[in-house]
Amino acid sequence: MRITKLTSVGFCLNGALGSGKYDDISIAEVKKRIEQGDVFNYLESVLGHDVDLTLLSPGDKAELLKEWQDLALAVDEGRKMCVDRNGLCLLVAYLLEGIQRRQDHNEPIPGHRPTR
């Protein structure tokens, strides 16, 4: 999955978080939804138009869900990711972790020259 998809989802979640309308979404609730496998449906139902997940294919969602399930089981989010209060913050942190894991594995964009 391209990093641009991860950052796009991260921007949407960050915007929803910044609105202040979703301060009551707990880490426990998000982790429960991740464990149950319905986190994307949950986000769409709770956030409505404040999130756009249409750029994620079913395969992308399956990939992210598996990754998030692994992170939810293995990572102390407070210690490693500095997240201790909000479930949307947790998802943004998971997306950042996913970006770190993929940074060297993206295919080049056709016709694009890196600016390094």
- Please write the tens of the pLDDT for every residue from 49-66: 999 999 999 999 999 999
Is residue 13 assigned to a domain? Answer: yes
- Digit-coded pLDDT (tens) for 67-99: 999 999 999 999 999 999 999 999 999 999 999
**pLDDT at 111 (0 to 100):** 74
**pLDDT at 109 (0 to 100):** 64
Determine phi and psi for 106, rounding to 5 degrees: -80, 140
Q: Which residues contact 13 (CB under 8 A, 6 or more apart)?
A: 43, 51, 88, 91, 92, 95
Is residue 98 assigned to a domain? Answer: yes
> pLDDT tier at 110 (50, 70, 90 boundaries)?
confident
- Other CB atoms within 10 Å distance of the CB of residue 47: 21
**pLDDT at 113 (0 to 100):** 66
Cβ proximity of 67 and 88 under 8 Å:
no
**pLDDT at 37 (0 to 100):** 97
Is residue 38 assigned to a domain? Answer: yes
pLDDT at 14 exceeding the cut of 90:
yes
> pLDDT tier at 107 (50, 70, 90 boundaries)?
low
Is residue 113 assigned to a domain? Answer: no
Average pLDDT, integer, range 13-26: 96
**pLDDT at 21 (0 to 100):** 96
CATH number at residue 44: 1.20.120
Is residue 22 assigned to a domain? Answer: yes
- Other CB atoms within 10 Å distance of the CB of residue 115: 4
pLDDT at 116 exceeding the cut of 60:
no
Is residue 95 assigned to a domain? Answer: yes
**pLDDT at 102 (0 to 100):** 86
